[in-house]
Structure 1
Amino acid sequence: MKKVIVPGVFFAALSAPVLIQEAQAASNAAVVKYVNVESNSSLNVRKSASSKAGVVTTLKKGKEVTVLSESNGWAKITVDGKTGYVSSDYLTEKTSTYVKYVSIDSNSTLNVRTSPNTSSSVVTKIAANTKVEVLSDSNGWSKIKVNGKQGYVASKYLSDTVSTVKESTPKADATPKVSTKETKTETMYVNVDQGSSLNMRNKPSNSGSVIVKLAKGVEVTAYSDSNGWTKVKVYGKEGYVATKYLSKTKSATSVTDKTNTNSSSGTVAKTTTKYVNVDKNSTLNMRASASTSGSVVTKL
């Protein structure tokens, strides 16, 4: 008897293992999910599928993760270049939205961009404490919805609560907010001991760096004062000085040689009034240290 091989059956026998492998591969395909915990809590990513395993990192609500596999209530994930395990109960396939507030300086605005990078175009600009709906959070960027528009902002500029903001230097990826209101100014004068000087700093704090030192009687333009500090402009520079050393009237000064207290440091030093003696079309450099290599504070 001759053996007869039916081609169709032979093909089916060869194909079956291939189809099974494809089905298994499909079931192990990575999927994107989102962290679903309370907005004020975080989810631990552990080294192994056990609540006793060490923590690799923690994830906030709405964080986007890639799920590699799931088994016995644990999901193996990758996030921000790290791999670990989280409880499957705290992952969802749909984005769980939540509310946050823009946390930037009051004189700045936060750029909402078309994609999660600083080179993408700006969709809109939002002010401090603006309420936004966070759709997802990944790699330091949050996808948000605000005023009917969607886009991406740097996650570090979002907060769970409304914050008290002060005027200062704009943060990264934030642009200065131009005010249409006219700023009220006032002319004031430095009121320190004769021979002393007043430090004008780059921020309203004793830890701020000194921009320039102001002598008694120097006229300044005062913009605003808060918490014992006044924002002023003098010699074309802006900064902050202690309010208590400003006066609305210019006090009389006299040329004397006496011991005075320096208002900026509290130290006692013998001072003498002298005058700059350079050519009429020249200036004298005042430096940060007693060296020609010291940085120039101002020109006299």
Structure 2
Amino acid sequence: MDKGSHLILRSKASETSSILDSLPRGEKVTVYSISGDWAKVKAGSKTGYVHASFLTNSNPDSNAGTSTPVQTTTKYVNVDKGSHLVLRSKASRSGKILASLQRGEKVTVYTASGPWVKVKARGITGYVLASYLSNADPDASTADDSNNSSEPTPDSTVTKYTTADLNLRKGPSKSASVIEVLDKGTAVKVYSEEDGWAKVEIGGKIGYISTNYLTSAAKQSNGKVTTILKNYDLSLDEFANIQMKFSPQTDTNERYIRSDAIKLTGRTTGVVQNGSWHIRDGAGTKNHEVGETLKEGTKVTILSTVKGDDGYTWYQISYNKAWKNATKNEVKYYLNPNNFVSDPVRSLQFLKLTSTANLNATEVNQKILAGKGILAGKASAFLTAAKQNGINEIYLIAHALLETGNGTSQLANGVKYNGKTVYNMYGTGANDGNAVQNGARYAYQHGWTTPEAAIIGGAKFISSNYLGAGQDTLYKMRWNPDVAATYGYASHQYATDIGWAYKQVDEIYNLYNLLDNYNITLEVPSYQ
């Protein structure tokens, strides 16, 4: 750090923790451990945490030119079983890959540079991401779980929750433009965490949020969850074969290409080189080709680097073709309820949309509808609409919030039609080019001359199509297992996107998460 500056020693590895001391430039410290951006150190008689990037191996003001080594520590690679940690030539994802370290492998830690640490492993010195190291062997019975990393492994994603209202930004910077503001307790899908920023996905939108406001623990509530199993005379493999006849689509980023196919052009970007290459749904040649090849010169974004089951290094990539034919393995993944039922967010694709959430109108007005434009204070109308039409209240409210832009749309706030002001809260009939006029005409024909009438009357049409046909979960709307099991073919499915039901649940979860009292009924399919 600059001359005249001081390094703050804090009680915890957080900018908000109390200050223990202010360390001058050149002061000698003993380093106990490094985790992410923070180093646990002893300075004099005080033990605390400092930003690791402001530590160096030698006294910056020494004239002797001799190094005073920072105390080394021993750590262990802590990634998921079957994953590997890449050792690089420099503290960057663009650094050359020197080795692929196994889970539990012991490394010697020297210094930190932001989220990276300099280590020695197998006699090779290089850099790894500190968040994938722990103080104890993750597979040892005596491992100290409190020190194990909770970050996502290089080839996986995790669900985390926001601990405050915060901005979702287009880039990892406070100067990047804001996509939307996320409420406290929002569930997000985390792809990566680096330099204090997390790359996340919420409702199909990908952006960046501060890692300081993320937690792995969902909020505890008084909600009651009931699970019902529904058995089908159908195997997952048979069900997948039925679906494959109807060209299911995916925009998943689970796409992999061997690293020697890519010439790096930046830290996370590259172009295909040396002809055309197959891409696969997993890292390694044993995984399925997805029916596409990337031609030389195709630009790709590199999401992660993993060791393939064939011994080669592979890149998980995203590229500029949005929709792709799904493989059978990918279809089976989304068909299989066991992949989602234990996840408090993704399990809501099995939410029985015809079951009551048993909500309190006052709580809904205060915690969900406050500040939502024309919908503010309308909880009683939603609860009445839900009861009269046999629709889950949260699902109905989520639908209205989406269609009205949180109560701000022109149709929601009233449109003159044949001399009367009419309202449309679900976008019913708003199609065929002139959405506002067509939606207003539909509202006029059905007498929706007050916001309450539009909320209650429009709910009938929400329930009449899929819910009325017995497809009363998002999962059944997408896959319709009743028809598949009875007739052996696919019919009356809402979307071709295999991840459609998976993607719809974020808003439903986040609305439930705002409340303290509610009921959830899940109907989970069970296949042979």
TM-score by length of 1: 0.39
Give the TM-score normalised by structure 2.
0.24
Structure with bigger RCO (C-alpha 8 Å, 6+ apart): 2
When Rg is computed on C-alpha atoms for both structures, the one with the higher figure is: 1
Write 1 or 2 for the structure with the bigger share of strand. Answer: 1
